[in-house]
Amino acid sequence: MKFLRIGPAGHEVPCVLDASGVARNISSLVVDIGPATMPGLIAAVSGVDLSTLPEVATTGARIGSPVARPNNVWCIGLNYADHAEEAGMPIPEEPIIFSKSSLTVCGPNDPILKSKAMTKLDWEVELGIVIGTPALEIAPEAAMDHVFGYVTANDVSERAWQIERGGTWIKGKTYPNFCPTGPWLVTADEVPDPQNLALSLSVNGEVMQDGTTATMIFGVAHVVHYLSQFAQLEPGDLILTGTPPGVGMGLKPPRYLEAGDTVTLSVEGLGQQESVVEAV
């Protein structure tokens, strides 16, 4: 199944795509698509004749994040060997964990916000994992049982804040709209091998990132298992799994986003985003 949320920010309608790709309003079945409804979401929709549900127009409509504000946004850093190389950092022996505020999560085509204080605004296409059931200290072989599905995500980063201001990476990761997500939440059964998905990102039509999840250092199952050793993962939690090479910081010379730039990205089977950088 492919779930999505359509409408103005704060007033999105929960939807599912039918077999013809038409968005159907499921608000009669679930209040929303989020942490509270995630455990029973598939059961609520299963067996329903989707053609009997109201159609929701997508042309010209705003698409919201497919999960209404997750409780947690977990992130894995330097999870592609070639990205670690371009960053000039050693390949991690264990996953590097940081987080983003849930307020960073926005719709897939919402603007990327650039404040006057930002000087090194960067992009990162990533495979996002959405947790379906609570997970704490789970065994590796049980990890995939806790995965609800997957999303396309952009781990937007202000590198000067992340790297040059001391402390932790979260400084450069957690400004509003720094996590465009979606357009769809695709259930795990439709992604039989999350370690074989193409990822791509372009800026103003120029391809910057062209990679595959096959080169991840720590795969989806290991990431979920590993995180659960340190924190309880909750339904709706979003995990960003790292980015392939081609980020602006790694270019020679480096290149960063400016107001008016258009960032287009996709993960195979999970849909495409297109965001314009907006000065605030």
Domain boundary among 44, 63, 82: 63
Looking at the structure of the chain, the number of domains it has is 2
Question: What's the distance, CA 250 to chain centroid?
Answer: 21
CA distance 223 to 95: 7
Tell whether the model's pLDDT for residue 82 goes beyond 90: no
20 with 91, same domain: the answer is no
24 with 160, same domain: the answer is no
- For residue 46 the two structure tokens come to 């299963």
Domain boundary among 30, 63, 96: 63
Share of the chain above pLDDT 70, in %: 100
Given its phi and psi angles, is residue 8 left (phi above 0), alpha (psi -120 to 50 degrees) or beta?
beta
- For residue 158 the two structure tokens come to 């202000």
What pLDDT is recorded for position 167? Answer: 84
Task: Evaluate the omega torsion of the peptide bond into residue 176 and state whether it is cis, within 30 degrees of 0.
Answer: no
What CATH number corresponds to the domain at position 101? 3.90.850.10
**Once rounded to an integer, what is the mean pLDDT over residues 36-40?**
95
21 with 69, same domain: the answer is no
Closest among 11, 43, 47 to 30, alpha carbons compared? 43
What pLDDT is recorded for position 1? Answer: 96
164 with 243, same domain: the answer is yes
What pLDDT is recorded for position 191? Answer: 98
Share of the chain above pLDDT 90, in %: 94
- What pTM was computed for the model? 0.96
Which structural domain range is residue 20 located in? 2-63
Q: Are 154 and 275 in contact (CB under 8 A)?
A: yes
236 with 121, same domain: the answer is yes
**Once rounded to an integer, what is the mean pLDDT over residues 117-139?**
98
**Once rounded to an integer, what is the mean pLDDT over residues 20-40?**
97
What pLDDT is recorded for position 119? Answer: 98
Q: Where are the alpha helices (DSSP H) in the chain?
A: 41-45, 81-86, 159-163, 220-228
What pLDDT is recorded for position 81? Answer: 83
**Once rounded to an integer, what is the mean pLDDT over residues 10-29?**
97
230 with 114, same domain: the answer is yes
For residue 90, the 8-state DSSP code is: P
Closest among 225, 218, 224, 147 to 187, alpha carbons compared? 147
Amino acid at 178: F
Tell whether the model's pLDDT for residue 117 goes beyond 90: yes
46 with 70, same domain: the answer is no
77 with 149, same domain: the answer is yes
Domain boundary among 14, 33, 63: 63
CA distance 187 to 129: 10
Q: Are 183 and 152 in contact (CB under 8 A)?
A: yes
Tell whether the model's pLDDT for residue 87 goes beyond 80: no
CA distance 242 to 119: 22
238 with 103, same domain: the answer is yes
32 with 92, same domain: the answer is no
76 with 134, same domain: the answer is yes
**Once rounded to an integer, what is the mean pLDDT over residues 191-199?**
97
pLDDT in tens, 202-257: 999 999 999 999 999 999 999 999 999 999 999 999 999 999 999 999 999 999 99
What pLDDT is recorded for position 36? Answer: 96
What pLDDT is recorded for position 86? Answer: 76
What pLDDT is recorded for position 203? Answer: 98
146 with 275, same domain: the answer is yes
